[in-house]
A and B are shown apart, each in its own frame.
Chain A
């Protein structure tokens, strides 16, 4: 399985943008890039996913490098509620299959 590499931790200030990087140099042509986050004492929750083009939803934006070997999750205006562990995961496009979580990035938001 292709692996992802993320920084262990990041820190940002409330109401500022946050850019969370993920490296996936061994990504295959059909792997989707998924992001989940886990708030304290909760189960992980889906954030966003994409294949090649940049994606936006109400929670975040996903910027994917042209060679697809890296991606960045963008929180446009961080709030204290965005403090969580963020996981970048590669997933094949079809079929029920396991989602393998790495260690993720622990994001701290300062008031």
Chain B
């Protein structure tokens, strides 16, 4: 298996632009998680899905952030409009039905200028 696949690996954009991050979970996994990592705040959980349904979005910073999971093999995290304080590494992770382990992608490094 190719593991959790995230795209793009790097994204540089200007303040006010829309940013879309993409994630393909491991085939057969039914839980998907979006995390954000910064030096100041460490790894923060933004939202997670179970069977394509959002279960807990309490970590989403504000209305500028939205996440979707239209099917079991794809999820997006959108920021509109983006701001410099959104600059961070965004990780996607998935887990199977036993929920024992999370498998993380390589992350998307987002820079908002």
Number of A residues near B (Cβ < 8 Å) is 19
CA distance A97 to B102 in the complex (A): 11
| Chain A, 66-111, CB within 8 A of any chain B CB | 87, 94-104
For B67-101 the 0/1 string (1 means CB < 8 A from A) is 00000000000000000000000010101000111
Contact (A98, B103) CB under 8 Å given A43-B91, A43-B93:
no
A94 and B98 CA atoms in complex are apart in Å by: 7
Taking CB atoms, residues of chain B closer than 8 Å to A96 are 30-31, 48, 50, 55, 95, 99
Q: For the complex formed, measure the closest distance between the CB of A94 and the CB atoms of chain B, giving whole angstroms.
A: 7
The prevalent SS among residues of A at the interface is loop
Size category of the B interface is 20 to 34
Which of A45, A49, A94, A100 is B104 in contact with, Cβ under 8 Å?
A: A45
A46 and B101 contact, CB distance less than 8 A: yes
Q: List 23 A-B contacts (CB under 8 A).
A: A43-B91, A43-B93, A43-B104, A43-B106, A43-B107, A44-B93, A44-B104, A46-B101, A49-B100, A49-B101, A87-B43, A96-B31, A96-B48, A96-B50, A96-B55, A96-B99, A97-B48, A97-B99, A98-B33, A98-B45, A100-B45, A101-B45, A103-B42
